[in-house]
Every structure is written in structure tokens, then in C-alpha cells.
């Protein structure tokens, strides 16, 4: 089936070439980091995780978001999703690939990455995260591939694939839960030390993942002859509505607990993020933008006429995606380190090189999505023809 | 808690030993042996739980500088220009930053800004050890929390886990910052870029029956000893003085005590 990715229109190849060029430039940037060390980034002794780990966290959510197609179809027999579950599975593959690349980019000694397996340490959450992420990657590759193969040959998919699919559903929840456990079990990091973190991660994931999927659906509809179906997209919009409301609700729960109890160690991070500390205000405009985007998206989403209108869908999805991205991809990780353990405020801003490497990883993810979606849609076109 | 945690580490250590002994033959001097072997090694330490008392009444800015310098020179800790890349094992903090859980707006200026020395607490229940995915950070039977620099992958999970900011990361090659690329103390290993480091309670000196460098330089402000030995000097000091520990309410069990 891979050969399907090797024939395409001029635009297809231009797009691939563009992505490759970005990846190549970013890779040179990475070589610089490899040479010098992580000192080329904006991270420090105080803010020891930055942009890479934040993107990783956000993308685990996008990967888990694919389950919002799989679950209704396989557990509730919701037929409209049947033809596009493959898009969710392949998006998950690309997202997990990016997650693993971000982890690798963040390691001080990437050559030793396999030590996590050689010296397996079950009381470290990072060990479990490595396990569940790689497992999820494998599951989605196998499931996606086998389903597509069956569709092409017009035969029913093998029976055992069904069990893998059932397994992949709780697994999707698992990857984001374990990712939240990386942070929420650390004593002395008040911003993360909250049981609502995993549910909040999941809620924002089920908003961000499906909104990206809808955007991809629009692109697929535009550049191929395969139509993901209006009904499927409308249902996804409904899922986004619930998820986004849950996300904001969980955030408000956190805000209430923190500000009503007024325990400084928990309160000061949120204060820093939304109001800054003295002249340290780097994230303030971003956090308010995120709040504004999420809240106004909710207003638009709860009105069925707007939510179901294909004209508005892409805009709402962009609002949701950007809003949740800022919340997780910018505020969540840096915010946990400011103020630091000594309660001093040392801000973090990513360097241009760090951003370039980040863009490179995203380009790699887009390349994977493009190739996988190309194969999937072409097979669907042929079957439909 | 202490017992179960240690025996768990021991079991984990022994079972992992068979698998990894071959891949980790990185002995640099006696005390830089792979973590599994170092967890209990009668040769290097006889104490059950090493600890330190810091008499903050005797600390001055000058003394703190002298102590930190002695530690950093002897452990080849580089002085880096860029604040983001800073590495420190023992350093001065103002009282209000060292003891964030004792806020007091009516405190005298002098007390709030009193110069306190901070370093790794060699916690009895160390969150950094729990977080490390490779056992590069590990706890020895004598309570000291150590690092295996050859195993560390530089994920910095331990830095997020430590509630005291005791850990530093080598954001660049530390040897580049040393004069002529030479370490100040050739007997002690230098680190590579991309690994985490922190105070080691001078494990290399304890192994030969000496006190840590900071204690030696402290003019009596620092007392070091075996907390489990009732007749030790440190226990005597603890009995006679009221002491506090940093963020003890987190349950980490710091082994560094402060007389304030
Ligand atoms: S002070 Fe920090 S680095 Fe030292 S043992 Fe405790 S948690 Fe670990
Ligand atoms: S940075 Fe090194 S010592 Fe710290 S948790 Fe990661 S592997 Fe362990």
C-alpha cells in the first residue's frame, strides 16, 4: 500500500518538498544543539523543562483525541464515524511520533535514551510513559494498516483486530493520564499538584484532537475525492463542545480551590500566569488570549446553528486548537516552574533555535500525516469508485 | 517507610544488577561505581544515615562564600557566565527563600535576609530518586543520594521532582569553562554536558574517613555525622538545640537541619 504515497499531483510533491526543506533546516539547528548542549535553549536551572516538553504534553492529547472517533463507532455503533476512524488512528500515529521526537530533543544525553528500558524503573512515571506511548503507537499502526488493507481487498478485517481496537480505547485515556502523572505527583510543584490535572488534560485533549481532525477533514475534502461526511463532522463538533466546556469547568474548579484556600504555593503560579509578577509578564497576554479563545468558542459551539454550519466550523476549530495549545503548550509547563522552589521568579522564553527545532518536529509530524492520509484517502477513493 | 523504601531499593538493585552489571562497568575511583553496587558498600561508608546540622547564627556572607568555594573548587563545579547555565552544589540564600514555609511579614529585616546555606538535603524519602527513570539518581544504604553520571540521560525529571532546587543541569560542556579545560581538582571526575549533578555529601571523603569539604571550611558552623548513632556529636547538637528543616511537611525527610 505504501506505493500509494509515491504517486501524486504536483501540489502533493510541492507540499512534501516544502516539509522536507523545513525538516532539513531544523535538523541543522538540532545539530547545533547536539554540539553545544541544551544551553542553546531558553531553559535554565529554575525552568528546567520548556517548549519541548510542553509540545510533547499537548501532542499526547492530540494523539489521545483520535479515540473520540473510535469509541463512538466501536462501542456505540455510531455508523457515521465508520469511514473515518482511520483518520483518527493515523493522526494518533503522527502525534505520537512527534511526542517521541520532542522527548528525544529534550534529552541531555539522547544517545543513552535506551537506558529507560535497560534500567527499567517501575516507580518512575517516565518509564510508564515511555511504555504506554510506544504501545499506543504500535497499536495504531497495526490497527490502521490492517483495517485499510481489508478495505482495499474488500474483505472483513481479521477478528483479532477488534480486540486490539477495544484495547486501544482505554489505552488512549491511559497515555494522557500517565502523562499527567508525570507532573501531578511531584511534591512542591503547586501548579501541578492537583488531582484534576489528568481529567483536565483529557478534556482539553478531546477538544484539541477532534478540532484538528475536523481541520484535516476539510483539507481531505478539498484535495481528494473522498468526503469524510458532514454528519461525522457535526458530531465531532458536538464532542468538542462537551470537551471544551469540561476543560474550562475543570480549570474553574482548580481556580476556586486555589484562590479560596489562598495557599501561596498553589496560588502564585496562576497569579503569575494571568497577572504576572512585577515586570515578569511574559505569559500574561498569552494566557488571556487562550481564555478568550476558549470562552468565545464555547459561546459559538453551544449554538447548534453555528456549530453545524460548515462555513464556521474551521474558524471555531482553529479557536479551540489555538486556545488549548496556548494553555498546555505554553502555560502548563513553564508556569509550573515560576516561581521556583525558592519562590523566586525566573522567567522562561524559548530561543529562536528552540522554536526552529520545534517547527521541525511539527513538520515531521505533518509529513507523517500527509503520507498516511494520502494512502488512506486514495484507497477509499478507489473502493468508492 | 524508610525501611520499606530501602529494602525495595535493595531488591530492585539486586535484581537489576544481573541485567545491567555488564553494561555499566564505569568505575571511576572507588566511590563512582554503578548505582546498584554503590547502594550498599561497606567499604565506603559505615553510617546508617549521614546528616548535617547548620548553625545559621554563625554564618556570614564571607564564610558562605568560602565554604561554597571550597566545595566547588574541589568538585570541579564550573563558574558559568550565563545565569541560565549556572551550576551550584552549595550556595547562599536569604532566609525567606531558604525557608519558604516560614513567611513572617513582621520579621526583622536582618532575619528575613539572613544568609543561609542551602544544599541537597539527602532526603530520607527522596522524590528525585523516585522520579529518575534510569536509577542514575539513587540512595545508598547510608542515606546519601548520589548520581551515576554515566547513566543519566538528562531528562531532568529529578530537577522537577526536587522541591528544594538542589539540582543543576550541564547545559553545556563544563570543561569548556575550566581554565585551559583543566579541572581544579584532577582527583575528582569532571562531568559531561547533558547530565544533572548536585552535592554528594562528599562521598569520596567519607570513604576515607574525612569530613566533607564544607564542614572543614565552616569554622565550626557545620556539624556532620551519623544520625542513627545516638552518641554521635550531631545527635548531641540536635538534642541541645531547636532545629528546623526545609519544607519538612512534604514528607521528604531532609537530613540537613538548621539552628536558627
Ligand atoms: S534535596 Fe532534592 S536532590 Fe537532594 S535528596 Fe532531596 S529531593 Fe533529592
Ligand atoms: S536527569 Fe538523569 S538523574 Fe535526573 S531523572 Fe533523568 S536520568 Fe535520572
Ordered by start, the domain boundaries in chain A are 2-380
Ligand 2, atom 2, lies closest to the CA of: B152
Residues of A in contact with B96 (CB under 8 A): 343
Q: With contact defined as beta carbons under 8 Å apart, do A352 and A239 qualify?
A: no
Q: Specify the DSSP element, H or E, that contains A378.
A: helix A352-384
CB A109 within 8 A of CB B154: yes
Residue B196 Cα to ligand 2 midpoint, Å, equals 6
Q: pLDDT grade, residue B40 (50/70/90)?
A: low
How far from B248 is each of A236, A332, B105, B245, CA to CA, in Å? 48, 27, 21, 6
A44/B170 Cβ within 8 A: no
**CB distance B131 to A155 below 8 Å:** no
User: Residue A124 CA: which ligand 2 atom is closest?
Assistant: 5
CA contacts within 13 A on the Cβ side of A15? 15
Torsion angle of the four alpha carbons B193, B198, B204, B207, in this order, in degrees rounded to the nearest 10: -140
Report H helices in A185-263: 197-223, 230-261
pLDDT digits (tens, 9 = 90+) for A208-227: 999 999 999 999 999 998 99
User: Which H or E run includes A44?
Assistant: none
Q: Within 13 A of B73's CA, how many CA atoms are on the CB side? A: 9
Sign of CA dihedral A213, A214, A215, A219: positive
User: Residue B178: which pLDDT band, with cuts at 50, 70 and 90?
Assistant: confident
CA–CA dist A82, A150 (Å, integer): 14
Cα B171 to chain centroid, rounded:
20
Q: Count Cβ atoms within 10 A of the Cβ of residue A24 and give its class: 0-12 exposed, 13-18 middle, 19 or more buried.
A: exposed
Quick one: pLDDT at residue B43?
55
Q: Counting Cβ atoms within 10 Å, is residue B107 exposed (0-12), middle (13-18) or buried (19+)?
A: middle
What local confidence, expressed as pLDDT, does residue B112 receive?
A: 84
Dist. CA B213–CA B219, nearest whole Å: 11
Instruction: Name the minimum distance, in Å, from the CA of B37 to any CA of chain A.
Output: 14
Task: Give the other-Cβ count within 10 Å of B145's Cβ.
Answer: 25
The reported pLDDT for the residue numbered B37 is: 57
Residue A214, C-beta contacts closer than 8 angstroms, at least 6 positions apart: A233, A236, A237, A240, A313, A314, A317
Q: pLDDT tens across A58-68, in order?
A: 999 999 999 99
Return the axis-axis angle of helices A313-326 and A51-65, rounded to nearest 10°: 140
Helices (H), B29-88: 35-38, 61-74
Interface list for A 341-380 with B (CB within 8 A): 341-344
Which domains are assigned to chain B? 1-39 (no CATH), 40-259 (3.30.70.20)
Whole-angstrom Cα distance, residue A224 to residue A213?
Answer: 16
Ligand found nearest the CA of B122: 1
Please state the rounded mean pLDDT for residues A160-164. Answer: 93
What phi, psi does B173 have (nearest 5°)?
-70, 115
B166 Cα to the center of ligand 1, angstroms? 6
With a CB-CB cutoff of 8 Å, which residues 149-208 of chain A face chain B? 182-183, 186-189
Whether A37 and chain B come into contact, CB under 8 Å, resolves to yes
**Residue for cell digits 482548580?**
A254
A352 or A384: which leads in pLDDT: A352
Ligand positioned closest to the Cα atom of B128 = 1
Reduced to 3 states, what is the DSSP secondary structure of residue B258?
strand
Atom of ligand 2 nearest to the CA of B154: 1
Cell triple for residue A179? 502523562
Residues of A in contact with B195 (CB under 8 A): 108-109
Task: Report the mean per-residue pLDDT for chain A.
Answer: 95
Q: What does the buried/exposed string (b/e) look like for A304-326 if buried means 16 or more CB atoms within 10 Å of the residue's CB? A: eebbbeeebbeebbbbbbbbbbb
- The atom of ligand 2 lying closest to the CA of B156 is 1
Per the CB < 8 A criterion, the answer to whether A341 and B128 are in contact is no
The grid coordinates listed for B42 are 561497606
Nearest CA to ligand 1 atom 5: B122
Complex ipTM: 0.92
Q: How many residues make up chain A in this entry? A: 385
- Tracing cell 505569559 back to the chain, one arrives at A283
What residue in B sits closest to A105 (Cα-Cα)? B155
Ligand 2 neighbours, Cβ below 6 Å, are B 131-132, 134, 136-137, 147, 152-158, 196
φ, ψ (nearest 5 deg) of residue B241: -125, 150
Lowest mean pLDDT among A50-54, A340-344, B30-34, B242-246: B30-34
Q: Kindly list the residues from chain A whose CB atom is less than 8 angstroms away from the CB atom of residue B247.
A: 188
End-to-end CA distance of chain B: 28
Interface of A with B in 83-112 (CB under 8 A): 103, 106-110, 112
User: A306 with A259: CB under 8 angstroms?
Assistant: no
Quote the CA–CA distance of B3 and A338 in Å, as a whole number.
35
Query: What's the confidence (pLDDT) of residue B179?
Result: 81
Of B98, B130, B194, the CB nearest to A109: B194
The CATH architecture annotation of domain A2-380 reads: Up-down Bundle (1.20)
How sure is the predictor about A150, in pLDDT bands with cuts at 50, 70 and 90?
Answer: very high
- Neighbour tally for A277: CB within 10 Å: 16
Closest CA to ligand 1's atom 6:
B123
Indicate which residue's Cα is closest to atom 6 of ligand 2. B155
Q: Are A200 and A244 in contact (CB under 8 A)?
A: no
From the candidates B5, B15, B77, B160, which should be mutated to test the interface with A, based on the most A CB atoms within 10 A? B160
Contact A124 B16 (CB under 8 A): no
Helix or strand (DSSP H, E) at B220 = none
- Note whether A54 contacts B: Cβ–Cβ < 8 A: no
Helix A230-261 to helix A197-223 angle (10° resolution) is 150
Average pLDDT over residues A70-74: 92
**Taking CB atoms and an 8 Å cut-off, how many pairs form between chains A and B?**
155
Summarised one tens digit per residue, pLDDT across range B76-128 is 999 998 999 999 999 999 999 999 988 888 888 888 889 999 999 999 999 99
Nearest to A136 by CA among A104, A179, A106, A105: A179
Looking at chain B, how many residues does it have? 260
Quote the pLDDT of residue A1: 78
Is the pLDDT assigned to residue A270 strictly greater than 60? yes
- pLDDT over 70 at B2, yes or no: no
CB of B75 closer than 6 angstroms to any ligand 1 atom: no
Q: What are phi and psi of B51, to 5 degrees?
A: -150, 170
Which among A111, A188, A189 is the top mutation candidate for probing chain B, defined by the most B β-carbons within 10 Å of its own β-carbon? A188
What average pLDDT does range A253-264 have in this prediction? 96
For B166, counting Cβ atoms within 10 Å of its Cβ (0-12 exposed, 13-18 middle, 19+ buried), the class is buried
Of A333, A342, A349, A353, which to mutate for an interface test with B (greatest number of B Cβ within 10 Å)?
Answer: A342
CA B225 to chain A, closest CA, distance in angstroms equals: 27
Q: Is B252 in the pocket of ligand 1 (CB under 6 A)?
A: yes
| Of residues B154, B168, B251, nearest to A45 (C-beta) | B168
Ligand 1 pocket, residue B52 CB under 6 Å:
no
Higher per-residue pLDDT: B178 or A250: A250
Q: What is the pLDDT of residue B16?
A: 42
Amino acid at each position: 500500500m505504501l506505493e500509494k504515497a509515491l504517486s501524486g499531483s504536483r501540489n502533493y510533491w510541492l507540499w512534501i518538498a516544502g516539509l522536507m526543506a523545513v525538516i532539513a533546516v531544523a535538523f541543522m539547528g538540532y545539530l547545533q544543539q547536539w554540539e553545544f548542549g541544551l544551553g542553546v535553549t531558553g531553559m535554565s536551572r529554575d525552568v528546567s523543562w520548556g517548549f519541548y516538553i510542553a509540545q510533547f504534553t499537548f501532542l499526547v492529547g492530540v494523539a489521545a483525541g483520535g479515540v473520540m472517533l473510535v469509541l463512538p463507532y466501536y462501542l456505540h455503533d455510531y455508523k457515521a464515524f465508520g469511514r473515518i476512524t482511520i483518520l483518527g488512528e493515523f493522526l494518533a500515529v503522527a502525534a505520537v511520533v512527534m511526542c517521541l521526537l520532542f522527548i528525544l530533543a529534550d534529552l541531555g544525553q539522547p544517545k543513552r535514551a535506551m537506558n529507560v528500558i535497560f534500567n527499567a524503573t517501575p516507580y518512575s512515571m517516565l518509564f510508564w510513559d515511555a511504555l504506554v506511548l510506544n504501545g499506543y503507537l504500535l497499536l495504531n499502526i497495526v490497527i490502521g494498516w490492517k483495517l485499510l488493507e481489508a478495505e482495499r481487498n474488500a474483505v472483513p478485517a481479521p477478528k483479532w483486530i477488534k480486540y486490539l481496537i477495544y484495547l486501544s480505547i482505554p489505552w488512549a485515556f491511559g497515555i494522557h493520564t500517565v502523562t499527567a502523572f508525570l507532573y501531578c505527583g511531584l511534591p512542591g510543584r503547586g501548579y501541578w499538584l492537583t488531582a484534576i490535572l489528568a481529567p483536565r488534560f483529557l478534556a482539553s485533549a478531546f477538544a484539541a484532537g477532534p478540532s484538528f481532525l475536523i481541520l484535516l477533514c476539510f483539507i481531505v475534502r478539498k484535495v481528494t475525492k473522498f468526503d469524510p461526511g458532514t454528519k461525522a463532522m457535526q458530531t465531532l463538533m458536538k464532542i468538542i463542545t462537551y470537551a471544551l466546556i469540561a476543560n474550562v469547568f475543570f480549570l474553574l474548579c482548580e481556580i476556586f480551590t486555589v484562590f479560596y484556600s489562598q495557599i501561596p504555593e498553589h496560588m502564585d503560579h496562576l497569579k503569575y500566569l494571568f497577572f504576572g509578577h512585577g515586570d515578569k509578564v511574559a505569559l500574561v497576554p498569552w494566557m488571556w488570549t487562550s481564555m478568550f479563545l476558549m470562552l468565545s468558542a464555547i459561546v459559538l459551539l453551544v449554538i447548534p446553528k453555528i456549530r453545524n454550519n460548515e462555513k464556521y466550523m474551521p474558524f471555531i476549530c482553529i479557536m479551540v486548537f489555538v486556545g488549548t495549545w496556548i494553555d498546555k503548550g505554553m502555560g502548563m509547563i513553564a508556569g509550573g516552574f515560576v516561581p521556583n522552589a525558592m519562590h523566586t521568579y525566573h522567567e522562561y522564553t524559548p530561543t529562536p533555535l528552540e522554536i526552529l527545532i520545534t517547527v521541525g518536529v511539527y513538520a515531521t509530524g505533518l509529513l507523517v500525516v500527509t503520507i498516511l492520509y494520502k494512502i488512506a484517502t486514495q484507497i477509499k477513493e478507489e473502493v468508492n469508485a | 517507610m524508610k525501611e520499606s523504601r530501602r529494602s525495595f531499593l535493595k531488591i530492585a538493585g539486586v535484581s537489576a544488577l544481573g541485567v545491567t552489571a555488564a553494561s555499566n562497568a564505569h568505575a571511576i575511583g572507588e566511590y563512582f561505581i554503578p548505582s546498584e553496587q554503590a547502594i550498599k558498600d561497606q567499604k565506603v561508608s559505615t553510617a546508617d544515615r549521614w546528616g548535617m546540622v547548620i548553625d545559621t547564627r554563625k554564618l556570614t556572607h564571607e564564610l558562605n562564600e568560602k565554604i561554597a568555594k571550597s566545595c566547588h573548587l574541589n568538585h570541579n563545579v564550573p563558574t558559568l557566565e550565563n545565569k541560565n547555565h549556572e551550576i551550584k552544589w552549595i550556595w547562599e540564600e536569604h532566609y525567606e527563600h531558604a525557608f519558604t514555609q516560614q513567611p513572617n511579614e513582621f520579621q526583622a529585616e536582618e532575619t528575613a535576609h539572613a544568609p543561609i546555606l542551602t544544599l541537597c538535603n539527602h532526603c530520607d524519602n527522596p522524590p528525585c530518586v523516585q522520579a529518575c527513570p534510569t536509577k542514575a539518581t539513587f540512595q545508598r544504604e547510608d542515606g546519601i543520594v548520589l548520581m551515576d553520571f554515566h547513566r543519566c540521560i538528562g531528562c531532568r525529571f529529578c530537577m522537577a521532582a526536587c522541591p528544594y532546587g538542589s539540582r543543576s543541569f550541564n547545559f553545556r560542556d563544563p570543561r569548556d569553562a575550566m581554565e585551559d579545560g583543566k579541572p581544579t581538582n584532577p582527583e575528582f571526575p569532571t562531568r559531561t554536558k547533558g547530565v544533572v549533578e548536585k552535592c554528594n555529601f562528599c562521598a569520596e571523603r567519607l570513604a576515607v574517613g574525612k569530613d566533607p569539604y564544607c564542614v572543614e571550611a565552616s569554622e565550626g558552623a557545620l556539624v556532620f555525622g551519623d544520625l542513627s548513632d545516638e552518641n554521635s556529636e550531631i545527635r548531641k547538637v540536635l538534642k541541645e538545640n531547636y532545629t528546623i528543616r526545609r519544607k519538612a511537611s512534604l514528607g521528604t525527610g531532609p537530613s540537613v537541619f538548621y539552628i536558627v
